[in-house]
Structure 1
Amino acid sequence: MERLYSCHRTHIGDDVRDHWKDDAFFGYQFLNGINPVMIQRCRTLPSNFPVMDSMVFEDHGFSLEKEMKKGNIFLCDYKILDGVKANTISGEQQYLMAPLVSCRQTDASRHPDVQDGRDERQGGEMKFLQLKQAAKDSLIFTPSDSEYDWLLAKMYVRSAEFHLHEVKAHLLAEVFSVALLRSLPMVHPLYKLLVPHTRYTLQINVLARNLLMSKTGTINRFAACGGKGMLTILERSLSSLTYRSLCIHDDIGDRGLEDVPNFYYRDDGLKLWDIIHRFVKNMLSYYYHEDARVQQDLELKNWILDIFKHGFLSKKASGGGSRCFSFRIFPKLPGIPEKFTTVEDLVKFVTMVILTCSAQHSAVNTGQYDYAGWMPNAPSSLAKPPPTRQGTVSEAQLLETFPDMKTTVHSMATVWLLSTQSTDKDLLGDYPEDHFTEDGPRQAIKHFQQELQSFSMEVRERNQSLEVPYTYLDPKLVENSVST
């Protein structure tokens, strides 16, 4: 593994290699790794996660119930992977778990003013996890277990992360791109605004189908889920999707993460949303002076209806109950809208489209090699089942559970390729094709570029003081579209 990784090293990748075993870094990745959209504040543990106070607290002055009331308990639930049939690689059965993971944040660490001198890799004081959704079939692991029991349990979680992090961005970008090309003429202002954010999307997704998801593709040959399993994951991702989860202000609020310290994905994502929202509002307000103009635009109606019908199968409520919101309860969550009635409705939706195709994709794509290049931190597959009894895992068994050399080589090569920027990249805010001729929109584009430039400087200044810099939402690295 050392020899393989040494062929292509990165600064963050070196940090991952050095700290992948650390509990603090394990927790940090839920916030700022390649899948920062799973973690949520937890007010009630799921019924299939029977954790007792005695399992996780040595001090009887603490209890899970009290800690949840304080807002100190967080949950990641990978139930979307439950029942996905694991692949067979080189004639050997592989294993993919659907774990539940929880961690506790100390009261002191909730306040940014006490962070001076603390390692920003800290991701919660206490952690416990269960590797299967059915409690009767699974053990609950904690850091008090033996070294290799606990390390192996965390590896199954990291393998689950490997399978989920990039599904949504590519899926949605294609939906938006096809609807744009099919429903709006090239002279329409929304076409002019959005077409730069569709660049190469169809090409890259066709390549993904042929090179990753086909019978001879990398996923089918070297990932625990296999090609059929990935289709199941895609289907479940769509069925559990909500409009609010695509709008980062709503999503962060719904997950109860507004005050979590050292959450750079949130901080940068919210600022980028606001910058893009102001830009979109300035652009569209030039053409839509009042709500009636939105309602009367037949081509606009065709565009959103195409997305609603063909992208989301006319679901009026996406994900009502499929996603586990333990912090707040939403009995019926709104799906993608099927029409626009106000300018603000249109502005919000277009902001979401641009963010999804650019910044959100960058957040889950650009760091793939950083976090998965050192294979033990994100195995594409695991070759042994989880233990059925505590205290039974040895170092030899841990090594036997790792994927074989061929699988490791292919997974490392794949994440390196997918996280490499295009040689002819267009960054967020770059519009080399001059679609707009009016002064108003041209000034709005110029102001947008200035805001992105200022924000990039803020990000880079902050990152100078971080042990692990968070760069994935720096506008100088974010591409306009899903092109890798």
Structure 2
Amino acid sequence: MEHKELRDLYINVSTGDKKYAGTDASVKIILHDNQGRCTKDIVLDNFFRNDFERGRMDVFHIRKKKLAPLGKIDKIEIWRDDAGLLSDWYVDRIVIEDRENIQVYEFPIFRWIKAKLRYKIKHLDTSLPQLDEHLDQRKMELEDKRKQYEICQKEKGLPVQWDIVSTKADLLTKSKIVKFFSGPWDQVEDVKNLYSDCVFHLPRGADGWKDDLYFANQRIASVNSGVIELCTAIPEKLAVTEEMLKPILEGNSLQYLLDNKRLFIIDFEILEGIHTKPDQFVRKEKNQNVYDHFNVCAPIALFMVDNNQQLRPIAIQLYQQPSSKNPVFLPSDHPNTWLLAKMWFNNADSTYHQALAHLGYTHLLMEGVTVATHRNLSGSHPLFKLLAPHFLYIIAINARGIVKLLAPGGWVDAVMNCGSRGVFDLIKKGIDKWRLDKEGCLPDDLKSRGLDDPNVLPGYHFRDDALLLYNAIQKYASEYVNLYYDGGDKIADDWELQGWGRELVMERESGGVGLKGLPHNGTFRTQDDIVKVVTCVIYTCSVVHAATNFPQYEEYGFPPNYPATFKGTPPTTKDHVDEKQILSCLPSKENSLDVMVVTKVLSAKGTNSLGDFELMYIADPNAKRVVEAFRADLKKISGIIKERNITRRIPYIYLDPEIIPNSISI
């Protein structure tokens, strides 16, 4: 269609849905075309209407007589005064419609507009820094972001970094279960009778907690599915012998199982020596004080793929060094003795899960990446637009929720054997072991654990589903990155990108994030270097967090199944254990309720699904096509996972893209 210069325009201004985003100030705009021409100052004001209210879009009809002569709009210039009581203003986007010529010009803003400062925004506002014609403005805005997002190491050795209390209270108010949570446990099975209302359904762990196959499934399709490894040799510190295992191996030898990749191991050596919370006074009995004692084991467990191609546990040693007081527990032991060993193992597993797999390796690690991204990448940078939806809420949830959980006397102190101090100790030990080119890269992580072959370890649903998602994210990142970087010079000359890499790898004590394993130690040279880092960040903020967070209620919600608190002293002999001894180890009813409530809250998804972004920063039509292709891939993956779950013994729903949020939002 031939473009006509004289026409009416409609300017759509979307004010952000943030606190104090609206303004009472006077706003003006100038439109620039691609021929270097521009309009006079245009006042954006609808008579008798309170414009620019928070979360609202205002439409301004601009008559053609104010616009001539003007061609295709290439840039806008917008500013405000400081009139009115509330002059702060946050703008999401401005869209200009030329309805006569069927033209739409989009200007993503996503900025606080300062008083009396003229902001020049290019059409689509997406450019590398070396190509930005308004570099002074870009540097000023980036400097402002650095002041706002200062890297702070809250405690030496730790990563840099929703009102959960009110949500807990609301759940308890609605639930009828509270009245049952006082006094001692009578029988383990009585715990099941408490789940009788619509607020707290019976978790799946309640039916499987004694079962060996369910215990094994917790290693490969539950909250902590990233620690199991192929066993290539029995470690000397694990005191198993062919003779003791013979009744369990179904006629196979240990060497045969090793040779055929049917033995697997989990070694929680990292838990050795971590802090545990002090003994707690319970009551006075026969003129003596009775205390609860808390321990955390550092166990090693051996698993076998049996002749029916199902994973099952075959040995558990609760501490690292074999001795007469550290026996190897077997499925052939007395059922309650074996059950108690599995419960102590799950207590250790829950300690690792909460401190590292969930908190350390997603929430805290990605908060540092979020801060570094804001500090180094302008809002106009294409990588910022790609990553920003995956950082939504993470700083807020860490500041409001995590602090409450980890505060002295908070939830972690109340319900975990290690307490908050032990959690911090474990994070310090584990955070330096995490590498982007291993734990952050799923194919490399699987290879390092001997599990990259899909024929090894059948039923490893986390691997099988997560690989689909990782590959889709990698494809998405690659197609997007290649839109803007078509050669090495653009990468080398992008000082924002290179500054981001430097800050990501810089030691935490020096003001950086302290990540290890980045390509060329944070110096980006190729498109593949960028894609690897971007893929890791998106994958961790979405898939990894979903896998470690959303199954929590189903496992923790039934205390005997996956006890965060387990009282007493781990067994030092293989003597028979009665149910009373198991009951004495369980957390109090009050603590059990607290675990149920918090894990119920944490397991609830309240934000958009992966690819359905709450805020769409991307405006470039070519990039939008990449996003649409990503969404189509996710839809296919969702169908594949739903189909897989029809035949799975225990469905694994947590990596269905419909369930995965874009960001760490809870």
Instruction: Mark the CA change 1:7 to 1:98 in structure 2 (over 3 Å): closer, same or farther.
Output: farther
Which position in structure 1 is the counterpart of 2:396? 203
Whether the 8 Å CA contact 1:279–1:448 is kept in 2: the answer is yes
Q: Say if 2:228 is the partner of 1:36.
A: no
Deviates more, 1:361-370 or 1:97-106: 97-106
Separation (CA, whole Å) in 1 of partners of 2:579 and 2:203: 22
Distance 1:196 1:312 in 2: 28
Q: State whether structure 2 residue 387 is matched by structure 1 residue 194.
A: yes
Q: Give CA deviations for 1:151-208 in whole Å, capped at 9, x if unaligned.
A: 0000011111212221311122212111111111111111111010001101111124
TM-score (ref. length: structure 2): 0.65
- Report 1:5-24 matches (<5 A): 5-7=195-197, 14-24=203-213
Deviation at residue 3 of structure 1 after TM alignment = 4.2
* Structure 2 segments unaligned to the other structure (5+ residues): 1-190, 282-291
Q: Of 275, 280, 289, which residue of structure 2 is paired with 1:85?
A: 275
Q: Which residue, 219, 242, 245 being the options, matches 2:412?
A: 219
- Report the Cα distance in structure 1 between the residues aligned to 2:542 and 2:520, rounded to whole angstroms: 19
**Alpha-carbon contact 1:387-1:393 (below 8 Å) kept:** no
The offset of 1:90, in angstroms, is: 4.1
Q: Residues 362 and 394 (structure 1 numbering): CA distance in 2 closer, same or farther, change over 3 Å?
A: same
Call closer, same or farther: CA 1:105–1:334 in 2, change over 3 Å: farther
Find the counterpart in structure 2 of residue 373 from structure 1: 557
Higher strand share: 2
Distance in structure 1 (CA, Å) of the matches to 2:256 and 2:394:
48
1:473 — aligned with what? 655
Superposed, which structure 2 residues align to 1:430-441 within 5 Å? 430-441=612-623
Q: Report the TM-score when normalising by structure 1.
A: 0.89
> What residue identity is the alignment partner of 1:24?
L
**Contact conserved, 2:205 with 2:554, CA < 8 A, in 1?**
yes
Q: Secondary structure at the match of 1:221?
A: helix
> Is the 1:316–1:334 Cα contact (8 Å) retained in structure 2?
no
Greater displacement, 368-377 / 89-98: 89-98
Query: What letter corresponds to residue 265 of structure 1 in structure 2?
Result: F
Deviates most, 189-198 or 432-441:
432-441
Change (3 A) 1:216 1:205: same
- Partner SS for 1:382: coil
1:198-245 CA distances to partner (integer Å, 9 max, x unpaired)? 011011111244211111210012210101100011111212212212
The residue aligned with 2:536 is 352
Distance 1:316 1:354, change over 3 A: closer
- Cα gap change, 1:336/1:417 in structure 2, threshold over 3 Å: closer, same or farther? farther
Structure 2 counterpart of 1:138 = 326
Q: 1:48 to 1:449 in 2, by over 3 A?
A: same
Gaps of 5+ in 1: 110-121, 319-332
2: CA distance, partners of 1:216 / 1:141: 35
Structure of greater relative contact order (alpha carbons < 8 Å, 6+ residues apart): 1
Partner SS state of residue 647, structure 2: coil
Change (3 A) 1:195 1:251: same
Asked if the contact 1:242/1:336 (under 8 Å) is kept, the reply is no
Q: Hey, what does 1:341 align to over in structure 2?
A: 525
Aligned partner of 1:442 in structure 2 is 624
Q: CA separation in 2, counterparts of 1:161 and 1:68? A: 24
What amino acid is the match of 1:186?
A: G
- In the TM superposition, what is the alpha-carbon distance from 1:60 to its structure 2 partner? 10
Corresponding position of 1:117: none
Q: Deviations over 1:96-144 (max 9, x none)?
A: 11110011113662xxxxxxxxxxxx423x5101001122241110001
Q: Based on CA coordinates, which of the two structures has the bigger radius of gyration?
A: 2
Name the amino acid aligned to 1:144: S
Tell me the residue number matched to 2:447: 253
Give the drift of 1:84.
1.2
Q: Which residue identity is paired with 1:69? A: D
CA distance in 2, matches of 1:413, 1:457: 32
Quote how far apart the aligned CAs of 1:63 are: 3.3
Alignment partner, residue 337 of structure 2: 149
Of the candidates 585, 588, 591, which is equivalent to residue 401 of structure 1?
A: 585
**CA distance 1:200–1:336, change in 2 (3 Å):** farther
Please give the secondary structure, in 2, of the residue aligned with 1:101. strand
- State the alpha-carbon separation in 2 of the partners of residues 355 and 467 from structure 1: 27
Q: 1:336, CA displacement in angstroms?
A: 8.9
Aligned length: 454
| Partner in structure 1 of residue 371 of structure 2 | 178
Contact map agreement 2:553 2:599 (CA 8 A) in 1? yes
Partners in 2 of 1:380 and 1:426 — Cα distance? 30
- What is residue 411 of structure 1 aligned with on the other side? 595
Pick closer, same or farther for the CA change 1:365–1:317 going to 2, 3 Å.
Answer: closer
The partner residue of 1:456 within 638, 643, 660 is 638
Which residue of structure 2 lines up, in the alignment, with residue 127 of structure 1? 314
Structural RMSD (CA): 2.3
- The 3-state SS of whatever aligns with 2:560 is helix
* Greater mean alpha carbon deviation, residues 469-478 or residues 77-86: 77-86
Given the superposition, is the C-alpha separation of residues 44 and 10 from structure 1 closer, same or farther in structure 2, using an over 3 Å criterion?
A: farther
Do 1:31 and 1:264's aligned partners in 2 also have CA atoms closer than 8 Å?
yes
Asked if the contact 2:318–2:344 (Cα under 8 Å) also holds between the matched residues in 1, the reply is yes
- Distance change in 2, residues 1:97/1:8 (3 Å): farther
